[in-house]
């Protein structure tokens, strides 16, 4: 997608973080927007900010896990703005929890939001894009969707699926005039990392012995440590727009992923060791962190 000015974008999860930054950056480049989210208060604020850039902005409630919402929003989009030039599937959630503690409802919630959203989006928008023979589909995956990493497992499963679908869409749609990109964020400082949003399922025995307040403090400071390696959503989106403009399939904000993917292909034994070492380092780091807070985490592993 070479030019944004005067074109139309449909965007999910626009009330916060990466979605908000996408909305404002695209408005700045002259793109008309149809922004959606379940957080209407946040969405209205983004609408007001984006309108200041002199473009048309429509905001609508769309729970991406529900097809009826997607269908209604797509119909409204087509009525208000016409055809879609840029379709950004950004909304996503992460629910934390250890491999043996994650409840089935959380698996379902994450897959419904992160993966079914892409299926709903394609179902609602692709037929008209195919008829027209143009458009660009961008789905926001994660580094957790190209390298098997730590928990949360439902998140990883959903993001690997988004990457697989995006590769397939690329192969099947590219020669039909439709571009496809998959955005692979590394660590971006947004609300998804806030414990209340992430809705972390604490290990039950740990929760019983130390209480929620203490665990919020321990996990909160652990997250702060991780976020020291993060970047702002505005900077990340600047990098994503650069990749989208070049019609790249994979769009990264962190060059380190190129090396990891190369290792996966060229040095599979080394990659296997890397996966194990990464987990060990993570567990060691977590152990040290809990010790600092007076908790002997070994008793709970
Ligand atoms: N922040 C990171 O470090 C990071 C890393 C990798 C991938 N990602 C991905 O980036 C995307 C954006 O996340 P973010 O970091 O900006 O988080 P965020 O929490 O700031 O924003 C996510 C937005 O999605 C919305 N949302 C949640 N469930 C929804 C639903 N069912 N329907 C519609 N909207 C819904 C939220 O209300 C929120 O506005 C997500 O897909 C996330 O998985 C983020």
pLDDT of 197: 55
Comparing CA positions, the residue from 165, 146, 159, 75 lying closest to residue 113 is: 159
Atom from ligand 1 closest to the CA of residue 42: 39
Distance 264 CA to ligand 1 centre (A): 27
**Pocket test residue of 92, 93, 116 for ligand 1, highest count of atoms within 8 A of CB:** 92
Atom from ligand 1 closest to the CA of residue 190: 20
Residues at CB less than 6 angstroms from ligand 1: 12-13, 15-19, 37-39, 42, 62-65, 90-93, 113, 140, 142, 185, 187-188, 190-192, 197
pLDDT of 101: 78
Distance 193 CA to ligand 1 centre (A): 10
pLDDT of 218: 92
Contacts of 46 (CB under 8 A, 6+ apart): 14, 15, 20, 23, 24, 35, 59
pLDDT of 198: 57
Nearest CA to ligand 1 atom 30: 63
What are the extents of the domains in the chain? 8-266
pLDDT of 22: 99
Choose which CATH entry (3.40.50.720, 3.40.50.2300, 3.40.30.10, 3.90.550.10) describes domain 8-266.
3.40.50.720
Nearest CA to ligand 1 atom 43: 92
Distance 113 CA to ligand 1 centre (A): 10
pLDDT of 203: 83
pLDDT of 78: 98
Distance 63 CA to ligand 1 centre (A): 12
Clarify whether 155 is annotated catalytic. yes
**Pocket test residue of 150, 185, 251 for ligand 1, highest count of atoms within 8 A of CB:** 185
pLDDT of 199: 66
Distance 212 CA to ligand 1 centre (A): 24
Output the furthest CA–CA distance in the chain (Å, rounded).
Answer: 62
Out of 67, 155, 250, 300, the active site residue is 155
Atom from ligand 1 closest to the CA of residue 141: 7
Distance 192 CA to ligand 1 centre (A): 6
Parts of the chain with a pLDDT under 50: none
**Pocket test residue of 10, 14, 18 for ligand 1, highest count of atoms within 8 A of CB:** 18
Contacts of 79 (CB under 8 A, 6+ apart): none
Q: Enter the pTM of the model.
A: 0.96
């Amino acid at each position: 997608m070479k030019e944004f000015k005067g074109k139309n974008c449909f965007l999910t999860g626009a009330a916060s973080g990466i979605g908000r930054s996408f909305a404002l950056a695209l408005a700045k480049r002259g793109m008309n927007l149809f922004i959606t989210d379940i957080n209407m208060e946040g969405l209205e604020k983004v609408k007001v900010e984006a309108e200041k850039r002199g473009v048309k902005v429509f905001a609508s409630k769309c729970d991406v896990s529900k097809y009826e919402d997607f269908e209604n929003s797509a119909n409204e989009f087509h009525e208000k703005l016409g055809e879609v030039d840029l379709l950004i599937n950004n909304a996503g959630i992460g629910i934390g929890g250890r491999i043996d503690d994650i409840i089935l409802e959380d698996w379902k919630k994450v897959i419904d939001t992160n993966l079914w959203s892409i299926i709903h989006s394609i179902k609602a928008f692709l037929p008209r894009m195919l008829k027209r023979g143009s458009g660009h589909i961008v789905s926001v995956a994660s580094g957790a969707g190209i390298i098997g990493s730590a928990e949360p497992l439902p998140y990883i499963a959903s993001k690997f699926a988004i990457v697989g679908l995006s590769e397939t869409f690329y192969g099947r749609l590219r020669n039909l005039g439709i571009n496809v990109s998959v955005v692979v964020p590394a660590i971006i400082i947004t609300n998804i990392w806030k414990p209340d949003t992430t809705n972390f399922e604490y290990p039950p025995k740990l929760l019983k012995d130390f209480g929620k307040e203490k665990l919020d403090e321990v996990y909160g400071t652990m997250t702060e440590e991780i976020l020291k390696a993060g970047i702002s959503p505005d900077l990340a989106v600047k990098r994503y727009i650069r990749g989208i403009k070049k019609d790249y399939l994979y769009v990264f904000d962190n060059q380190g992923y190129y090396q990891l993917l190369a290792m996966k292909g060229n040095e599979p034994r080394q990659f296997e060791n890397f996966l194990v070492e990464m987990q060990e380092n993570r567990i060691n780091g977590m152990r040290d962190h809990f010790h600092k807070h007076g908790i002997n985490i070994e008793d709970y592993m």
